Amino acid sequence: MGNNIVRLTMAQAIVRYLVNQYTEIDGVRVPLFAGAFGIFGHGNVTCLAEALERVQDQLPTWRGQNEQSMALAAIAFAKAKKRRQIMIATSSVGPGATNMVTAAAVAHANRLPVLLLCGDTFTNRLPDPVLQQVEHFGAPSTTVNDSFRSVSRFWDRITHPAQIISSLPQAVATMLDPADCGPAFIGMPQDIQEIAYDYPVEFFEEKTWRIARPRASSDQIEAAVNLLKTAKKPLILSGGGVRYSGAEEVLAEFASARAIPMAETIAGKGGVTHNHPSYVGAMGIEGTDAAKELAETADVVIAIGTRLQDFTTGSWTTFAHDAKFITINAARFDAGKHRALPVVGDALVCLQEISDALGDWSCPPERMQHAQALYADWNREVDAGQVPTNAELPSYAQVIGVINKKAKPEDIMVTAAGGLPGETIKNWRCISPYSFDCEFGFSCMGYEVAGGWGHAIAKQGNGVPIVLVGDGSYLMMNSDIYSSVLSGHKMIVIVCDNGGFGVINRLQTGMGGAGFNNLLADCRVADKDNIPHVDFAAHAKAMGAHARHCESLSDLDEAMAWAQTTDKTTVLTLNTDAYKWTPGGADWYVGVPEVSEREAVRKARATQEEFRKKQRQGI
């Protein structure tokens, strides 16, 4: 070793670099990379694992049970940390790597950082084809890791140990950039991981990264202020970017001071509590009727930190054709959608500058009075839907009502995909800021339990993730119940068993189709009179969790109280109604057959054609 170099393998150098990166959270300097999730195999066990083992007190490695789910846990962790702290997920070559492609897509769609380190085949090709290698006859340098290109913000394959000197800082910068944030992928060929190289010691110096707050141009601020001053019926639409900017308090004050009603996207839900005077609930297909009516009458919409996904916009039918949009977003791509007036910059500083320039302007008071009346009507409807009845099976709304009342302010509701997102978005009342996480950017079944584990790691005992999952998602991915028991990170998991994929059955039959292959009763099974019942409570107990099956809402209430006292992950199960849903929300553009022998399908097609006439045209 010389005075200014250190000889390390490429894998050792990657790990040494990562442990010397820091960030600041609320003024406290902490490691940027809080830990790693790993499943080791050939491609990452002999070199990368050797390096990770040596720093396990600085960079703890948690063993996952499935590569996709451990990467999903890493994504939930990043969301919990508002993108200021990152987890690593590492896999072997081949199926271990491709298992994480779905998780990379979740991170990409949701603009969330995760560092993916995957083993790769040999660059020298001497032992080809190696175990698990997929050969491309006309492109020998192509490996399964190329499949990450379409779902990564940063992608690189290291073919020489010196390349990490430029690649790693670029990967970190991408993950921390408010505009480009997303997953970073680095492929690590087995023969390159083992090579020793003389690295400059400066490469391993400690560095503290700080999240940039880009400011919009003064012209954009001025134009936004001038447009907003013309509004008689404005509406704020708060997205997930508000969370990552830390702008929730500034936005809440802005909405109150300017008397503008405020709706939220699914990713943004929880930016304010449900009783904030400007709040009117979530917007869109699974939103509140109050938000929908206010959107339909809005003349100026201030969309902040949102990519304007179709579940938010009602497939662009919720807003009037002549409504004007002001979009505040760190990403130019999102800020320019649908002929909006873009304000490209950080949500917090842009709101402050707009507010300063507005002077004493505020919305006519009638708008807020109308919004509050609409939201009061909505809350009465929610209350009525959560009242216990004599029905054979409880509804999702009733289940959510019980859990919501038992939740503590420091707890967080975690769900994803299927029917539960719509029901929680409508029925869950945030009693504290950001006590809700619904993965709906990619609508990934299987996020629920894995995401709960990630939140539990992030919380470090300060509150408990309450995971709400359907039987379909549970069967798809549940093994991180065992991970959480192994690692000592408690969560409460509620499994709602409605006998299949209930919400897709609703869509299928609602568009005129016959119930087919969604509910178990409509599937090809050996004996439809005796469909096997999965004992989810027994299954969870087999993974080391506490578990209890609930026969009623009162049982669930008692079981929730018990679950809050247990010493490890606790799973509660109950059967729920597959056909009862909370009403409300906007319409959705879906494909319906243009021709069909079924009269119900033809009627659904006609309804869709009428609905599509309301769509705004844009990009």
pLDDT at 577: 97
CA distance 32 to 38: 18
Domain final position from 209, 228, 247? 209
My answer on whether 228 and 351 are in the same domain is yes
My answer on whether 542 and 393 are in the same domain is yes
**Domain tally, the chain:** 3
Average pLDDT over residues 130-134: 92
Domain final position from 377, 410, 429? 377
In Å, how far from its chain's centre is CA 14? 28
324-381 per-position pLDDT tens digit: 999 999 999 999 998 899 999 999 999 999 999 999 999 999 999 999 999 999 999 9
Task: Dig out the tokens for 600 from the structure.
Answer: 């119900």
My answer on whether 339 and 428 are in the same domain is no
| CATH number of domain containing 396 | 3.40.50.970
The DSSP annotation for 532-543 comes to: PPP-HHHHHHHT
Task: Dig out the tokens for 113 from the structure.
Answer: 């950082």
Decide if 562 is inside a domain: yes
Alpha-carbon distances, residue 487 vs 348, 438, 454, 481 (angstroms) = 37, 24, 11, 10
Q: Three-state SS for 416?
A: strand
Give the structural domain span for 328: 218-377
My answer on whether 53 and 199 are in the same domain is yes
My answer on whether 248 and 101 are in the same domain is no
My answer on whether 89 and 180 are in the same domain is yes
Question: For residue 2, is pLDDT > 80?
Answer: no
Decide if 99 is inside a domain: yes
Contact in structure between 14 and 8 (CB atoms under 8 Å): no
E strand or H helix at 311: helix 310-313
Beta bridge partners of 30: 23
Decide if 89 is inside a domain: yes
My answer on whether 355 and 405 are in the same domain is no
Instruction: Indicate the average pLDDT of the chain.
Output: 96
E strand or H helix at 184: strand 184-189
Task: Dig out the tokens for 470 from the structure.
Answer: 């359907």
Is-cis flag, bond preceding 342, omega within 30?
no
My answer on whether 317 and 392 are in the same domain is no
CA distance 486 to 64: 10
Q: Where are the beta strands (DSSP E) in 393-508?
A: 412-416, 436-439, 465-470, 492-497
Decide if 540 is inside a domain: yes
Percentage helix, strand, coil for the chain under 3-state DSSP, each rounded to 5: 40, 20, 40
Task: Dig out the tokens for 178 from the structure.
Answer: 């408010």
My answer on whether 460 and 520 are in the same domain is yes
The single residue listed with the structure tokens 């497939």 is: 315
My answer on whether 299 and 422 are in the same domain is no
Nearest in space to 417 (alpha carbons), one of 476, 364, 373, 461:
476
The model's pTM is: 0.97
- Count how many residues are written for the chain: 619
The region of weakest confidence among 45-49, 346-350, 508-512, 613-617 is 613-617
Average pLDDT over residues 38-66: 97
Decide if 608 is inside a domain: no
Average pLDDT over residues 481-487: 98
Instruction: Tell me which amino acid residue 327 is.
Output: T
CA distance 6 to 204: 10
295-314 per-position pLDDT tens digit: 999 999 999 999 999 999 99
My answer on whether 179 and 231 are in the same domain is no
Average pLDDT over residues 258-277: 96
Nearest in space to 97 (alpha carbons), one of 27, 146, 57, 131:
146
Average pLDDT over residues 78-103: 97
280 phi, psi to nearest 5 deg: -125, 10
Contact in structure between 36 and 223 (CB atoms under 8 Å): no
Decide if 600 is inside a domain: no
Task: Dig out the tokens for 129 from the structure.
Answer: 């084809």
Please count the other Cβ atoms lying within 10 Å of the Cβ belonging to residue 124: 11
Task: Please enumerate in sequence order all residues whose Cβ is within 8 A of that of 14, keeping only pairs 6 or more positions apart, or say none.
Answer: 48, 51, 117, 164, 168, 186, 188
576-592 per-position pLDDT tens digit: 999 999 999 999 999 99
The single residue listed with the structure tokens 């009525």 is: 384
CA distance 94 to 71: 16
pLDDT at 1: 45
The single residue listed with the structure tokens 């929908």 is: 292
Q: Three-state SS for 585?
A: coil
| CATH number of domain containing 316 | 3.40.50.1220
Beta bridge partners of 476: none
Nearest in space to 151 (alpha carbons), one of 119, 117, 106:
106
Please count the other Cβ atoms lying within 10 Å of the Cβ belonging to residue 65: 17
E strand or H helix at 350: helix 347-358
140-167 per-position pLDDT tens digit: 999 999 999 999 999 999 999 999 999 9
Alpha-carbon distances, residue 308 vs 112, 338, 359 (angstroms) = 16, 9, 29
DSSP one-letter code for 211: -
Query: Please, which pLDDT band fits residue 250 given cuts at 50, 70 and 90?
Result: very high
Please count the other Cβ atoms lying within 10 Å of the Cβ belonging to residue 29: 11
CA distance 522 to 497: 16
pLDDT at 619: 55
Decide if 587 is inside a domain: no
Task: Please enumerate in sequence order all residues whose Cβ is within 8 A of that of 492, keeping only pairs 6 or more positions apart, or say none.
Answer: 464, 465, 466, 467, 560, 563, 564, 569, 570, 571, 572
Decide if 526 is inside a domain: yes
My answer on whether 200 and 328 are in the same domain is no
Question: For residue 524, is pLDDT > 50?
Answer: yes
